[in-house]
Amino acid sequence: MPALEAAPSVHQTVVSDRREPVSGIVILGCQAPALAHATRPGQFVMVVPPGGERTGAALGVYEAGGERVSLMIAAVGPRTRELAGLAPGARLDMLGPLGNGFDLDALAQRGPTGSAEVALLAGGVGLAPLLLAARGLLERGAGVRLYYGARTGSALVDAESFAALGVAVELSTDDGSRGYHGFVTDLFAASGRVPTALAACGPSPMLRAVARAAQRLGVRAQLSLEETFACGVGACWGCVVPLERASAQAPPFPPPAPGETRDYVHARICKEGPVFWADELRW
């Protein structure tokens, strides 16, 4: 059997199924065999908006298996509302898979006790890229616990998909309407557990809190960053984050110019990321 092309390409997909577990959050399944085969946990796609909006939408791949990928879409703006409204049978073109994805081998490394216990922290639809990560970590023999937070209970979706894999799930809401009352990073701190590694996806303030928590615990964390993308393919340099020059992910860049005091490089979130080691970011 010829190997399927793993390089990114344009995929002309058809929406196969649509689920709206809670109002405003839609899980859109698409028939996309080559993409399903090629996608690694934590990678994303750029969706070509059917209505011709100005820029495509970057979405983390939620599920990928067989001939199907799915995307988790929070309908918050005109672009995402349009995508969330697509019905089965609709055509949807996407570029992908894009970005680096999680380094699951590194996350699944065993700690001093001989086992690997990975904590996944999700904020809102930052949950999306963590499902494939959870599966991959379990396959590598790691224990996985999901800390999943949202503004309110009705925005917590699909935790059962994680539980079905054998992932322990703990929930939090900002308003206390379900689970722990507070941020997901507070829930994690309150648990008192010290995992062997952390992986997280969500809004930037949450990821910064995860980075601080990881530093306190002396545990490394991989963060999947969210940012506005224009191209999504590394061409425009619009989505950068300051990254330690010594990072293995740092794009090549000459030493600081005369008079230049900033000793870091700007890495593209869409290309060198979206997943970075928390302790290598200079944000």
Partner 1 sequence: MSDAATAARPDLSVALGALRLRLPTLMGSGCYGSGSEYAAFVELSEIGGVVLKSVTRLPRLGNPAPRLVTTPSGLLNAIGLQNPGIDAYLANDVPGFADRPCAVVGSVAGFSVDDYAEVTRRLAARGEIDAIELNISCPNVGSEGETFACDPGLAARATRAAREATRKPLIVKLSPNVTDIAPIARAVEAAGADALAVVNTVRGMAIDVDRQVPRLGNVSGGLSGPAIRPIAVLAVWEVARSVRVPIVGGGGIETARDALEFILAGASAVSIGTANFTDPRAPLNVAAGIRDYLAARGAATLREIVGAANPGYLGAR
Cβ distance to partner 1 smaller for residue 176 or 256: 256
Cβ distance to partner 1 smaller for residue 23 or 54: 54
Phi, psi of 86 (to 5 degrees): -65, 140
Q: Tell me, residue by residue from 79 to 98, as one string, x for binding to partner 1 by CB under 8 A and - for no binding.
A: --------------x-x---
* Burial environment of residue 87 by CB neighbours within 10 A (0 to 12, 13 to 18, 19 or more): exposed
Q: Which of 138, 168, 233, 250 binds partner 1 (CB under 8 A)?
A: 233
Cβ distance to partner 1 smaller for residue 85 or 238: 238
Could you tell me the strand order of the sheet in which 221-224 lies? 180-181, 168-173, 143-150, 117-123, 197-201, 221-224, 275-277
Establish if 2 lies at the interface with partner 1 (CB under 8 A).
Answer: no
| Smallest separation (angstroms) from partner 1 to the CB of 170 | 30
DSSP annotation string for 76-91: -SHHHHHHHT--TT-E
| Smallest separation (angstroms) from partner 1 to the CB of 201 | 18
Q: Which of 239, 243, 278, 281 binds partner 1 (CB under 8 A)?
A: 239
Cβ atoms of residues 125 and 83 within 8 Å: no
Measured distance between the N- and C-terminal CA atoms of the chain, rounded to whole angstroms:
45
Q: Can you state the angle between helices 204-217 and 184-191, rounded to 10 degrees?
A: 20
Establish if 3 lies at the interface with partner 1 (CB under 8 A).
Answer: no
Element (H, E) at 156: none
Establish if 48 lies at the interface with partner 1 (CB under 8 A).
Answer: yes
Establish if 35 lies at the interface with partner 1 (CB under 8 A).
Answer: no
Pairing of strands 180-181, 168-173: parallel
Establish if 237 lies at the interface with partner 1 (CB under 8 A).
Answer: yes
Q: Tell me, residue by residue from 190 to 229, as one string, x for binding to partner 1 by CB under 8 A and - for no binding.
A: -------------------------------------xxx
Cβ distance to partner 1 smaller for residue 112 or 260: 260
Q: Which of 84, 241, 275, 278 binds partner 1 (CB under 8 A)?
A: 241
Cβ atoms of residues 135 and 67 within 8 Å: no
DSSP annotation string for 203-250: -HHHHHHHHHHHHHHT--EEEE-----SSSSSSS--SEEEE-TTSTTP
Establish if 61 lies at the interface with partner 1 (CB under 8 A).
Answer: no
| Smallest separation (angstroms) from partner 1 to the CB of 228 | 5
Cβ distance to partner 1 smaller for residue 106 or 235: 235
Establish if 60 lies at the interface with partner 1 (CB under 8 A).
Answer: no
List residues binding partner 1 (CB under 8 A). Answer: 7-10, 48-49, 52-56, 93, 95, 227-242, 252-254, 256-258, 260, 262, 264-266
